Amino acid sequence: MEIYVYGFILSLVVTLIATPPVKRFAIYVGAVDKPNHRKVHQRLMPRLGGLAIYAGFTVAYWLLFPSFLEQQGITSQQAFGIFLGGTIIVLVGALDDRFELSPKVKLLGQIIAAAVVVYYGLRIEFINLPFEGILSFEWTWISVAFTIFWIIGITNAVNLIDGLDGLAAGVSGIATAAMMIMAFIMGNTVVALYCIILLGGIVGFLRYNFHPAKIFMGDTGALFLGFNLAALSIMGFKNVTLFAFIIPILILGVPLSDTIFAMLRRYLNKKPISVADKEHLHHCLLAAGLSHRGAVLAIYGLSFLFATAAIVFYQSYLWGAFTILGVLLLILQLMAELIGWVGQKKPLLETARRIKQMTTGKEYK
């Protein structure tokens, strides 16, 4: 257990020490975030903060992981593959923070990073549907495409929620902690150590990134965290039933929900899916009257709800698990309608209004 404590503290301390010089470096090279109509901050802010998280993680990884694997008598090419792919993602993010790469170039970099992970043996190997094995099938080359799609999707979903001080870091931290707990429950010590080292870097960076932020993580950090969460979710649940595959989806529920609702919202409004808007979850909460810090804490709470639901879901019987899932989806839909997350359409509230009218004869308000 000591190595987990050492890993967390080492990553945290290195990140705390590295963040101020990274901030100065970002300003020196011109990697700054300029205010515009979609952004909340009102002044130039240095980004590249993800380099500090990466530094803390890298130092802890190389000082602890080799000896840990040797003591356990195991090898883990997959863990190295995630590290190497994460390094590529950090490079892509850093170049984007400084030079604003085109979406095609960023996507190419993400595909290369995901392909590295697959090359080192990490992939979703099969999904066993819960129908007595009748519909079970082995993934062949489809597993490669599915794995790459999953990694790229989660990577960009985390990047999309990076809109308020400390938001992406905090949500990623909660998801990482949930994966760590799940790894301990399943006895997956490699994933547990990887998660706790990553968590140390996130917590260290939040010291400078929580509102009012002194530095942004930029695409360097958001892509790095998203990539690691995506890859770790596969490493922890790569041989799963369809039922169990819901667990990483729940853990990553906030960034995934924001991405799905954004796509749905733009489709309903007949807008291109790739066009950015100012109606993401954090925008909606601010518009509803929450303060900057209040909106971030509210999303932290939602992330904690998803993470807790994932852990309880894993340990529940079938009907209990589906009850948890149903309640969570109901809460999510109700919240989306109340704050206008999807748009002006409110089917759940409209149904409640009609039922109220039929039962009492009074209009529901």
Give tens-digit pLDDT for 107-157.
999 999 999 999 998 887 755 444 444 444 455 678 889 899 999 999 999
CA–CA separation, 304 vs 310, rounded Å? 10
pLDDT averaged over 10-residue windows placed end to end, the chain, 365 residues: 93 98 96 72 84 98 90 80 97 95 95 96 66 49 88 93 92 95 91 96 96 94 96 76 70 89 79 74 86 93 92 77 82 81 71 75 54
Summarize the chain as % helix, strand, coil (round to 5).
70, 5, 25
pLDDT value for 131: 44
Question: Could you tell me which residues come within 8 angstroms of residue 357 by beta carbon, excluding any fewer than 6 positions away?
Answer: 363, 364
Name the 3-class secondary structure at 212: coil
Report pLDDT for 126: 57
pLDDT for the residue 135: 44
**The pLDDT value given to residue 324:** 82
Over the stretch 309-360, which tens digit does the pLDDT of each residue have?
A: 888 888 777 677 778 888 888 888 888 878 877 666 677 777 777 777 777 7
Judged on CB neighbours under 10 Å (0-12, 13-18, 19+), 14 is buried
Whole-angstrom distance, CA of residue 45 vs CA of residue 212: 11
Q: Is 97 annotated as a binding-site member? A: no
Q: What is the pLDDT of residue 243?
A: 55
How high is the pLDDT of residue 354?
79
Which pLDDT belongs to residue 130?
47
Determine the pLDDT at residue 40: 60
Q: What is the value of pTM for the model shown?
A: 0.87
d(CA 252, CA 225): 12
- pLDDT in the model for residue 48: 95
Q: What is the pLDDT of residue 76?
A: 75
Distance (Å, whole) CA 127 – CA 138: 8
Q: Determine the pLDDT at residue 57.
A: 97
Q: What pLDDT, on the 0 to 100 scale, is given for residue 269?
A: 75
